[in-house]
Each structure stands twice: as C-alpha cells, then as structure tokens.
Amino acid sequence: LKSSLSPQKYYPPDFDPAKIPKLKLPKDRQYVVRLMAPFNMRCKTCGEYIYKGKKFNARKETVQNEVYLGLPIFRFYIKCTRCLAEITFKTDPENTDYTMEHGATRNFQAEKLLEEEEKRLQKEREEEELNNPMKVLENRTKDSKLEMEVLENLQELKELNQRQANVDFEAMLKQYKELEEEQRRKEQE
C-alpha cells in the first residue's frame, strides 16, 4: 500500500549511488548562527558595553588544529552593536566557558574568582584533613561552633522582629485624628 503523504522516488535500473560525486566542503567553512553573548564585554574600538544575553547573528567556524579531549573548539565572529567592529571569542571546554580572542575586553567576573577561591580553600582543607586526624576534629568543632553562633543570631533577629511587630493600629489612628483636628483648628484661627 503506497502512502499518499511521502513523495515517491523513481530509481532507474542502471542507477549506481557510487557514481554520485561527493560534495567537497572546506573544513574551515563558516555557518551563520544566532547566539547570545556568553559574557559581559566592552568593545575596544568604541567602548560600547555588550551585556551577557544580547542576541547576535554570528559566524561560526571550527578552529583548526585545536581540540580538547576530542571535543572540537568553535570560534564565533560577532559585530559590535555600535561601531560594527568585529569581535571574536572561542569555546573553552576545559573550563566550561568561553575565551575572548580579540575586538573586545571581557569584563571583570567577581563571582567566578570567588568560586575558584572557595574551591581552592576546600581542596587545601581536604588535603590537610587527609594527613592530620587532629585537624579533622578541630575543623568539625569550628564548624559546629560557627553553626551555633549563626543559629543564635537568627533566633535573636526573630525575637527582635516579633517585638517590633506588635503595632497598635488603634493608637496610631487616634494620634492621626488628633493631628488632623489640630490642623483644622489652626486653619480656622
């Protein structure tokens, strides 16, 4: 039973698929893709800020002779929104990020530096604890002491909020009416 939806193709009896010429496409060919700016950057030509998430029509190419653990690295070409200067950046699979190539400078990323510092401190602490069981005990007592302090501070704040939350609306309304009456008297005088 032939389907009326799919188009029927006729293959002549002497058809040989091996005779069809293969497309010779260059390895460094570029595609046009729609992408968002992966980080905040500033154009070197005009000083325009390009914020993370700004959409661009970009040209994408595979970087030749550069791979990371078998993963290809891609290069993207975008144009500055103000002066149309070309800006390029590449994928960085090693750090699961992007690296700025040229045309702009990447803005300072405090969050990333903070995360890296925390990871480094955590690694140092783990290495210390592996060699010294006494250090493990010290760190645990420090952690529990800090946790207790945080809980105490939280409890104090809750109590303070409860004390301040007891507002007497009747007294406030009464005071407001008195002020209004006083203003009326002054106006009449």
d(CA 28, CA 66) in angstroms, rounded, equals 12
Q: Is 2 a residue whose pLDDT tops 60? A: no
Helices (H), 36-168: 110-131, 133-165
The pLDDT value recorded for residue 81 is 92
pLDDT digits (tens, 9 = 90+) for 113-145: 888 889 998 888 888 888 888 888 888 898 899
Give the start-to-end residue ranges of the domains of the chain.
31-107, 111-165
Alpha-carbon 94 to chain mean position = 17
d(CA 163, CA 87) in angstroms, rounded, equals 58
Q: What is the DSSP string of 50-82?
A: E-TT-EEEEEEEEEEEEEETTEEEEEEEEE-TT
pLDDT band at 163 (very low <50, low <70, confident <90, very high): confident
Q: Is 28 a residue whose pLDDT tops 90? A: no
The pLDDT value recorded for residue 56 is 94
Q: Is 44 a residue whose pLDDT tops 80? A: yes
d(CA 42, CA 103) in angstroms, rounded, equals 9
Global confidence as pTM: 0.53
pLDDT digits (tens, 9 = 90+) for 49-108: 999 999 999 999 999 988 999 999 999 999 999 999 999 999 999 988 899 999 999 887
